[in-house]
Amino acid sequence: MFSVLDILDELQKLSLTFQKDEVAVSDVKNALVRTRLSLTALLARPGANLRKFEQSVNGNVFETVTLNKHVNDDAELTNLKNRVVNATNQYLGNRLDNFEQDPVLSAAHILEVRHWPKDHEQLAVFGEEEINVLCEHFKQLLEKNDFDQAETLSEWLDLKVLVKNNYGNLRKQAVWQVMFTDFAERSCNVWMLIEILLVLPVCTACCERAFSCMSQIKTQYRSRLDTVTLDSLLRIGIDGVSSADFDPQRSIALRWNTGERDRRPNFLRNS
């Protein structure tokens, strides 16, 4: 049981990566590799839960429970753990192998600035094959937005020089945030490809959260909400601040002082 808990802990970390709102393809690939390596490490040594269990066993007593241990139990446990870990790794490979084999998804590694080659000769041609793959795959979409493929490789080279000389030590999110904020007009063609990679969806967790939020808002007692109102309430519920951090005074004042009818009760205060 404790070996299974160790396996589930690693799978939970992978699952949480898929559930993030701002997860990119490269993030999923890194998380998948890490999970498979962590599972493989469980074959060589016990995980945190199994190690804690072994340290808690005093002779044949675990807490207040007496364990009946047989001669072959250790070998059977090791054999069972190996089979479960290998089966889990095989399933992950079969289920998510497109992140490694699909050329479009594999092209997302060009976003990992810290992993760019340090050698100038390697950096000069780095990412060109991936750029060509993206241009071909999204050709119809790009042509509708005045995309000039002939200028893309030149713009990609300019971008690599700019990032490598000035922002190579920043994290991926910070690098591309700066690029899109300050330099978006310099390389408009290559920015289209970078933006596609950054927003390429890898899961439907955000959609499921939106449906759950809508079910809480549009109940059977509020079924006549129009589309604009429902959209506004969903944006508040999904992207708004938490109720603990929200200051309602401005909203109350706006609601209280605007509108066709007077919402303030007519009464006189005693002096």
Q: What is the pLDDT of residue 202?
A: 80
Q: What is the pLDDT of residue 126?
A: 92
Q: What is the pLDDT of residue 134?
A: 92
**Contact residues for 262 (Cβ-Cβ < 8 A; gap 6+):** none
Q: Decide: pTM greater than 0.85.
A: no
Q: What is the pLDDT of residue 129?
A: 92
CA distance 200 to 29: 13
Q: What is the pLDDT of residue 197?
A: 86
Q: What is the pLDDT of residue 260?
A: 63
Q: What is the pLDDT of residue 133?
A: 92
Q: For the chain, what are the domain ranges?
A: 2-101, 103-199, 205-253
Angle in degrees, CA 29, 32, 34, rounded to 5: 110
The CA-based dihedral angle spanning residues 26, 31, 34, 39, taken in that order and rounded to the nearest 10 degrees: -140
Low-confidence ranges of the chain (pLDDT < 70): 53, 187, 259-271
Q: What is the pLDDT of residue 52?
A: 80
Percent of all residues in the chain with a pLDDT value above 90, rounded to a whole number: 11
Distances in whole angstroms, Cα of residue 119 to Cα of each of 75, 110, 124, 127, 160: 49, 16, 9, 14, 13
